[in-house]
Amino acid sequence: MGAFASAALLLPLLSAAPPAGAEAPEAGVLQGQFARAAAHHGVPESVLLAVSYLQSRWDTHGGAPSVTGGYGPMHLTDAVTALASVAPHHSEGEEDARGDDSRALRPAASGDRAAPAASASSPAPASLPPRLRTLERASELSGIPAEELRTGTEANIEGGAALLAAAQRESGLPASPDPADWYGAVARYSGADDSATAATYANDVFDVIRTGESRTTDSGQLVTLPAAPSVAPATEQMTALGLRRPAGGPVECPPTIACEWVPAPYEEFGDGDYGNHDKANRPASQSIDYIVIHDTEADWGTTLRLVQDPTYVSWQYSLRSSDGHVAQHLSLKDVGWHAGNWFVNAKSVGLEHEGFLTSPDSWYTEAMYRSSARLVRYLAARYRIPLDRQHILGHDNVPGTVSSSIKGMHTDPGPYWDWAHYFRLLGRPITPSAGPDAGVVTIRPEYSGHQPVYTGCTTAGTACVPHGSGAVRLHTAPSADAPLVKDIGLRPGGQDSTTGVNDTGARASTGQSYAVAERRGDWTAIWYLGQKAWFHNPAKEPAAVNARGLVLTPREGLAEVPVYGRAYPEASAYPAGVPVQSVSPLPYKLLAGQRYVVGDRTPGEYFFAPVFDVSAHRVVRGQEEYYEIQFGHRVAFVKAADVRVSRA
């Protein structure tokens, strides 16, 4: 989404190292810290652990704040301090979010946009909602100084337990040892100001209690919450909290998430301009084939202001980091301007997640990941969208429409989005489906331990904070010293790809599947942008899993076939009054002998909607058919007549 991060609220802390005083506890200590804090405040240990899991998955993030200014495993929020520590957001790119040259450009939507510098003065704490200043309250309750709550893991857990105990008292309830009696307190802890969001948050916490969790945190701590499947929370406690009902409206969400209607404007304001989306009749007019994952590059308030601006751009849903709350802005039948590719826009739904791609430790909460996954499962079932990475796209996987637009395409949600965890939540974990000699691999490094060096999070050329990543580097030979593969679309002059956090030229991400070109020791080569691309893939610590799938290659007699960024119809398909759209190839070539994994087969389509008057809108559908392929970090299209398909 939004290119402009707010100067009045949250930008993440982007320091290159954890703050002084951040703890690195010895193995086994973290579990004990939860137990002691729970006992001290009379909070069931399972409740404390489950709340922390939903906020941070028990990670400390080196003392850095989340995108909503939350610190530590309990996500105690201190937005004022987080803002005071802000560094400028570094980015690049000038994508036209609508991605259609039939009308004037609009400001870009999400990802790698430059943000304004932070304001000289921080907002007054009283001007912020309570959900963004829980650390202050935790300090009052516990007597622990604010700085210690921000940087000390044990203190942070103690502060979170104090908040839960206070929420239970404020509900007029005793400190019961039974976790089922803490439903209302957990709902209060969410900080949500509406009953639906608070209930969804509490339901997620109790789902974690029932199913249990165990994982090794970013500080090397194994933390375990045993499953308690018989816990039945006292959901009737919600009625005593006095929270508002969410705004009504024609929301299209599953009942398992909190969703409210915050409509994007559709109005005409002269000179043929209107905002900020197009009316349509999907899926009757066109199928919905893709879901595009974005990050907002803005705080929640700025995100909502931008999507309601008729001169800006639009997307279907926004998701709040602190509690997973969802706002819907467009009817699913209508077309948002979000992906920078009109073919993809016309056939997709856009989800914006509150966050910043160049801030590795400004983490997305588990609450937001879970809400997003439930929403995507609902959309996928409604429109029969396969739950794979050729249909669930990052904005950074959407191709440029023509050669000149490649450089400006966005790079969110970036290498720090945890696709493996996301697909587990979607119910489609990325696991092997073939043996060791498979012709296809699906990228799948172990997220937390896989920490390639990225640069440019704060300053060009400066290393980012070491952090887990779901993306692998691609080299020209089976060696870490070999140059990175080149992307002639990004750099027509033939310059090398870089380790920049916004440079997608030599990167493959978790869940993306590629045809194997060669295997040599601990290295695997894949076909990528018309060349062999090598990544380190040792058997003991694999960065990919072997997979089955269909692949395509140029049909017999063709030395190469063109590659496209959109699947538009042939010229003869356009009726009178609809300008013919060029079928312009990208600068890449798919060469004989190379293979690429096949996605959908689709007819050429073009949605003609350059005017406010919907009676002039047309869907043009041709006889020419295309295949979507995983061609590089981004998907691409080839004409079906140019290729032959086989099983890998």
Q: Which of 95-99, 111-115, 574-578 has the lowest mean pLDDT?
A: 111-115
Task: Give residue-wise pLDDT tens across range 249-265.
Answer: 899 999 999 999 999 99
Q: What tokens does 224 get?
A: 């375990």
**Secondary element (H or E) of residue 623:** strand 618-630
Please choose, from the candidates 353, 366, 473, the residue with its C-alpha nearest in 3D space to the C-alpha of residue 422. Answer: 366
Task: Give residue-wise pLDDT tens across range 187-202.
Answer: 999 999 999 999 999 9
pLDDT of 643 above 70:
yes
What value does the mean pLDDT take over residues 220-248? 93
pLDDT of 246 above 90:
no
Q: What tokens does 14 get?
A: 């982007």
Name residue 310's beta-bridge partners.
none
Is 94 or 35 the better-scoring residue by pLDDT? Answer: 35
Task: Give residue-wise pLDDT tens across range 383-418.
Answer: 999 999 999 999 999 999 999 999 999 999 999 999
Do residues 476 and 378 make contact, with C-beta atoms less than 8 angstroms apart?
no
Q: What tokens does 78 get?
A: 């201190």
What value does the mean pLDDT take over residues 102-124? 50
Strand-pair category, 507-509 with 471-473 = antiparallel
Termini Cα distance of the chain? 37
pLDDT of 580 above 90:
yes
Task: Give residue-wise pLDDT tens across range 333-381.
Answer: 999 999 999 999 999 999 999 988 888 777 788 999 999 999 999 999 9
Task: Give residue-wise pLDDT tens across range 127-160.
Answer: 688 888 999 999 999 999 999 999 999 999 999 9
Collapsing DSSP to helix, strand or coil, 605 comes out as: strand
- Residue 473: its pLDDT value, please? 98
Confidence of residue 19 (pLDDT cuts 50, 70, 90): very low
How far is it, in rounded angstroms, from Cα 352 to Cα 16?
Answer: 26
What value does the mean pLDDT take over residues 3-22? 36
Q: Which of 115-119, 166-170, 368-372, 527-531 has the lowest mean pLDDT?
A: 115-119
Using the CB atoms, write b or e for 314-332: b if 16+ within 10 Å.
Answer: bbbbbbbbbbbbbbbbbbb
- Residue 510: its pLDDT value, please? 98
Confidence of residue 93 (pLDDT cuts 50, 70, 90): very low
pLDDT of 468 above 50:
yes
Domain ranges of the chain: 29-241, 430-548, 554-647
What value does the mean pLDDT take over residues 413-434? 96
Q: What tokens does 132 get?
A: 């963004």
Is 57 or 356 the better-scoring residue by pLDDT? Answer: 57
Q: Which of 35-49, 96-110, 131-145, 388-402 has the lowest mean pLDDT?
A: 96-110
- Residue 3: its pLDDT value, please? 38
Q: What tokens does 243 get?
A: 């929270």
How far is it, in rounded angstroms, from Cα 599 to Cα 137?
Answer: 51
Do residues 560 and 638 make contact, with C-beta atoms less than 8 angstroms apart?
no
pLDDT of 56 above 50:
yes
How far is it, in rounded angstroms, from Cα 580 to Cα 568?
Answer: 10
Please choose, from the candidates 176, 178, 174, the residue with its C-alpha nearest in 3D space to the C-alpha of residue 232. Answer: 178
Is 412 or 85 the better-scoring residue by pLDDT? Answer: 412
Q: What tokens does 234 get?
A: 């006292």
The DSSP secondary structure of 50-81, one letter per residue, reads HHHHHHHTT--GGG---TTSEETTTTEE-HHH
- Provide the percentage of residues in the chain whose pLDDT is more than 90: 79
Do residues 48 and 30 make contact, with C-beta atoms less than 8 angstroms apart?
no
- State the chain's mean pLDDT as an integer: 90
Is 179 or 98 the better-scoring residue by pLDDT? Answer: 179
- Residue 11: its pLDDT value, please? 36
- Residue 578: its pLDDT value, please? 95
- Residue 107: its pLDDT value, please? 62
- Residue 88: its pLDDT value, please? 31
Q: Which CATH class is domain 29-241?
A: mainly alpha
Q: Which residues, 6+ apart, have CB-to-CB distance to 83 below 8 Å?
A: 9, 10, 11, 69, 118, 122, 123
How far is it, in rounded angstroms, from Cα 409 to Cα 521?
Answer: 35
**C-beta neighbour count of 482 within 10 angstroms:** 13
